[in-house]
Amino acid sequence: MTLDLTGKPELTDPSTAWLSLHVRVNDTIKLYFAPSCKETGNRIELSSGTRVADLRETTDLIHGPNYEEGARLPREPWRRPTAEEAQNLIAAETPTNMASSVAIFQLPCEFSGLQEAMRSGDKESLKVSLLQPLRSICELGEPLQYIGPTKNPANLRTVTFNRDIGRYNGLHVDNWDQLDLESRHLSTNRICINIGQQDRYFLFLPVSLMGMANALSEEIGAQWEVPGRYTLIGRQFMERFPHVPVVRCRLGPGEAYIAPTENLVHDGSSVGQSDMDEQFTIRGHIRLL
């Protein structure tokens, strides 16, 4: 389905939605795989667009997971990208602009010895066992903030849980730095390391937050106003352009992503896992060397 910025999609090939948007929007997101990663061609899938969480997913308090009202999720089925889509999405060179890049890499040290240290969250031991190896392949811009180890239940479409309201966010934008829209490209990004026993996924829409705002402004006109909660920019974009696919990237144990989650509609996913989903997160101004 070709994306038409009048909001009326043409009934053609669904695989062209991302390619059509790529032509119209400059602020697209590139995905880079470090040489340490294997089987890069088999790591990526695209959704069939996005959808709003249905009534059962927002009201079933017993069986859950229950989503907040208005939450949006990837729409199945998933598929492999076409050669043209992969060419537009995947970067061949190490990215220099991390505000519009997602990078996937393997830890440059023995993973099994780090798992318990990362699970414990002992900052002093991690400075030696984790940060020193990371600095050999990453620039870790200060100040660094340790979010540390977190766990999620297995087999969730999306994993981010809002404890204030007791519901899952769905695809969302982070707001740790609380910068305005025009400054989002200056926000911190994050390293998130898979410290579990099984593969997990990173999900993202391949358009920056400003790219979405520009598309909405062009589509709606002068009456469009920037909402106070930036996740709502993403939701409005997904509502207007529901056929733009979510990118799903697989990360094995000991692998990590660097992503600008303040400038990106995203989430994690534990689909397919049988054990707990575990990750370790550090925030800062971070890029691969």
Q: How far is the C-alpha of 208 from the C-alpha of 234, rounded, in Å?
A: 9
Cα 201 from Cα 193, distance rounded (Å): 11
Residue 35 in this model has a pLDDT that exceeds 90: yes
Task: Tell me the per-residue pLDDT of 188-247, one tens digit each, with 9 for 90 and over.
Answer: 999 999 999 999 999 999 999 999 999 999 889 989 999 999 999 999 999 999 999 999
How many other CB atoms are there within 10 angstroms of residue 149's CB atom? 17
Encode burial over 102-111: b for 16+ CB neighbours within 10 A, e otherwise: bbbbbbeeeb
**pLDDT of res. 11:** 36
Integer Cα distance of 209 and 213 in angstroms:
6
Domain ranges of the chain: 14-288
Of 114, 273, 278, 270, whose CA–CA distance to 195 is shortest? Answer: 278
Instruction: Report DSSP state, residue 223.
Output: T
pTM of the model: 0.91
* CB count in 10 Å sphere of residue 77: 9
pLDDT in tens, 143-193: 899 888 899 999 999 999 999 988 999 999 999 999 999 999 999 999 999
